[in-house]
Copies of this chain bind each other. A is one copy, B any other.
Amino acid sequence: MSVREEKKQKTKQAILDAAIALFSTNGFENTSIEELAKSAGVGKGTVYGYFQTKKEILYAFCEYELEQIHKELANRADPDAPILEQVLTIYMTEFNHVTQNKEFGRIFMRQTVFPNESDRQDHLEIEDKYFQLLFPILQKAQDRGELRRNIELLHITGHFYGLYILIMSSWYTGRIPTEEVSSALELIFQQALEGLQPHPD
């Protein structure tokens, strides 16, 4: 690697490290770019050379977290466990990361679930990663007869995802305390599997 590239990487990392430290301590809105730049040992303009907006610094961190989550899941996954268990593991792994930094999580979710026109592309990429993770799991469950065959995988994925967003929302609004998230998620996923209407018997 050339001297230039090496420096670049170091600078970017310094900015990110400073950002994580400052955002975590003082919150996103209470950290000014000037402060952040000073802490990273660079000028304000340099920060904007690496990130187009203040929020983008946050996303860089979130994406890194997301990668960690995906790696963690690759280890944990048991493709033959009941579908409920697997889906729960996936979303609880994500949730556990979010609890470690509520502020990052909120801004990330807001942006991901209701993106600006300009951020659509990033959003779609992130969602695709999810689908790639979930599809084979759901496929197998469908093959085992745990899921109906006449529903598209995309719709099943969406169904679980929608309910996960709901639970996260309930957590962010304080309706569900941290320790109850797991059981709430399990309950509503179970409900989704069984259906809301009585079974014809």
Contact = CB atoms under 8 A, between A and B. Distances in A.
A155 B197 contact: no
A172 B127 CA distance: 13
A156 B113 CA distance: 22
Contacts of A68: none
Contacts of A187: 155
Contacts of A169: 113-114, 165
A69 interface: no
A178 to B, nearest CB: 15
B146 A197 contact: yes
Main secondary structure of the interface of A (DSSP, over half): helix
Interface residues of A, number: 47
A115 B162 contact: no
A166 B158 contact: yes
17 contacts: A110-B110, A113-B172, A114-B172, A120-B173, A124-B173, A124-B175, A147-B198, A149-B198, A155-B191, A158-B166, A159-B166, A162-B162, A192-B192, A192-B195, A193-B196, A195-B196, A195-B197
